[in-house]
Chain A
Amino acid sequence: MERKKKEALQGIIYVLPSFILIACFSILPIFMSGYFSFTNYNVMNDPTFAALENYAKILKDAYVADAIKNTLAYVVVTVPIQTILSLVFAAFLAYKMQNKTGGFLRSIMFIPVIASAVTAGTIWRIILNTDGGLLNNLLGFLHISPVNWLGSTQTALISICIVAIWKNVGYFLVIYYAGIMGISKDLYEAARVDGATNIQQFFKITMPMLRPITYLVVTLGIIWSFQVFDLSYQMTGGGPGRSTVTIVMAIYNAAFKQYKMGYACAMAMVLLIIVLVINAVENLAFKEKEAK
């Protein structure tokens, strides 16, 4: 008995530092955020109760509406493309190029992942420059007239999406590649004996076997995309106009430019709910498939 108590005490001591930090900087802030979202709070004065005022304001705020619209567009463009590209590339590298060259190519494709979004944004901002930027120069060789990539409301958001895809494919490719390596070779052997083509094998074996990984890749992709900030901040600062403002940028501006902490917290709560719903849907879908 004495021994058990001692062990329990030791366990608690080991866990305690992490618990204090997670409680203070992860759990408590959620409740604070929830509370502030019902108040007007400018940091200098004490918060005053405002009931649902902030949430009502979100619904009417054209800036926030644009932020949500842009973020949704960003999610809808980046997630499917980066998922498909990383799956197809991973499959090709795993089946056709499981050699030194393939390994080398994989290492290179991972490099954009390790650069920060700020670094990537800095470089791409210059590459996409209208006058003499690298991309417009290259297009010039093909006699395509210069495009104002980041300066036009037509192309700014899509340019950011492309840079995001460029940066993310390597990451998901690594996850898919590991997944494909885990699929039993016997399945392919059997399929080949039955005369299945490579393409058929991809659709009938690889894709179904990778379904749990695809759930993960899609969920992570969606959740990260909803949190996009760095790229857009660095490449366009939200412009031109409001064409690349994102949800997190709206939160950042409300909280740290206008000091409307309550309003910003309300937006943050909306973001939290979006993320939790996506997680819940993924869990449900995953459990359903597991049960089958």
Chain B
Amino acid sequence: MKKTRTWTPLSVLGMLVMVLFAVICIAPFIYMMIMSFTQSTTLMLHFDEINFTDFTNYSYVFGKSGFLRALTNSLVVVISSCLFNCIISSMAAYGFEKKNFPGKEKLFKIYLATLMIPGQVTMIPVFIIMRKMGVLNTYFSLVVLILNAFGVFLIRQFMESVPDELLEAAKVDGCPEYRIFIQIVIPLIKPVLISLVVFTFVSSWNDFLWPLVSTTDSDMYTLTVALSLLKTQYQTNYGLIMAGAAVSFMFPFVLYIFLQKQFVEGIALSGVKG
């Protein structure tokens, strides 16, 4: 593409639009950070009030409103979700891709079909089931729903590239089945597992509706629910609310900075699933 260097008025305008849109994308988060360091309860930004060494809002958020507990809950739920999803999904993907059992492809089609079902449709019966099981307000109820056919599908596709000969050779050498899976297959599918972790992290961290309906005990609130409550409790204490928003944004954001490539790949992959 050599000709791309010609700068017509249209392409200059296009560039300006790109920069403007990027500014619009980032500005609300910068505003959030600035606001979280002001004590003002009016919205007018007084620049002399901004004090980046004043963590009053943050210490208040963590001290009073059960926010720390919610942050801990979210971390526990997200980390367990990632582990859980990776383990169960890669086991299933291995079973589907490298083993033969009757009805395999039919079952896989059913798995794929479940991807079309919106979570809001199954939410009510799942609530009723979990209520009967007595597991509402537990980490189990917040973690277990993360598993869906998407992870199985994603890993299975990747696993096609694991050569059968390699697994066969290991078997001939007398390597027990579980060790073939753990010591040969898992290391080989590491790249796709990282994508799945990123994807799981973001969807679990940002999940709102299920924690909202399933946690009635305030000790089990996740960060999104706590943030939503903050808004109702401290109507006009904007600095405080922004500090809460900043905390909930920080974790996926830091992950994004370190794993940008995996983020974008994970998203592109998730798009391909349709």
Contacts and interface: CB of A to CB of B under 8 A. Distances in A.
Interface in A84-122: 89, 92-93, 95-98, 102, 105, 107-120, 122
A279 interface: yes
17 contacts: A7-B99, A8-B102, A22-B111, A33-B121, A33-B125, A105-B22, A110-B263, A111-B29, A115-B206, A115-B249, A116-B249, A118-B248, A126-B238, A134-B31, A134-B43, A137-B45, A216-B272
B126 interface: yes
B242 A126 contact: yes
A123 B117 contact: no
A264 interface: yes
Interface stretch (B10-18, B50-58, B60-68, B189-197): B10-18
A188 B21 CA distance: 27
A19 interface: yes
A256 interface: yes
Interface in A146-176: 166, 169-171, 174-175
Nearest to B264: A174
Interface string A1-44: 00010011111111101110110111111101100100000010
B256 interface: yes
A131 interface: yes
A272 to B, nearest CB: 5
- Give me the 6 closest cross-chain CB pairs, A-B, nearest first: A11-B99, A14-B95, A116-B206, A132-B43, A29-B125, A32-B125
A110 B265 CA distance: 12
Given A27-B110, A123-B245, A276-B116, A255 B124 contact: yes
A106 B212 CA distance: 33
Contact of A7 (B24, B100, B131, B147): B100
B1 to A, nearest CB: 7
Given A108-B22, A110-B263, A133-B43, A19 B124 contact: no
A129 B43 contact: yes
Nearest to A262: B124
Contacts of B248: 116, 118-119
B264 A110 contact: yes
Nearest to B23: A108
Of A9, A26, A107, A219, most buried by chain B (CB within 10 Å of CB) is A26
Given A95-B4, A118-B248, A227 B118 contact: yes
B120 interface: yes
Nearest to B226: A118
A14 B249 contact: no
Contact of B95 (A13, A117, A137): A13
A246 B114 CA distance: 24
B94 interface: yes
B178 to A, nearest CB: 10
A205 to B, nearest CB: 13
Contacts of B274: 216, 219-220, 282
Nearest to B149: A22
A127 interface: yes
Contacts of B144: 21, 25
Interface string B206-237: 10110011000000000010011011000000
Given A25-B147, A33-B125, A111-B253, 17 more contacts: A7-B100, A8-B100, A14-B92, A14-B99, A26-B122, A29-B121, A92-B11, A95-B1, A96-B4, A110-B264, A112-B25, A115-B252, A132-B44, A234-B231, A255-B123, A256-B213, A272-B118
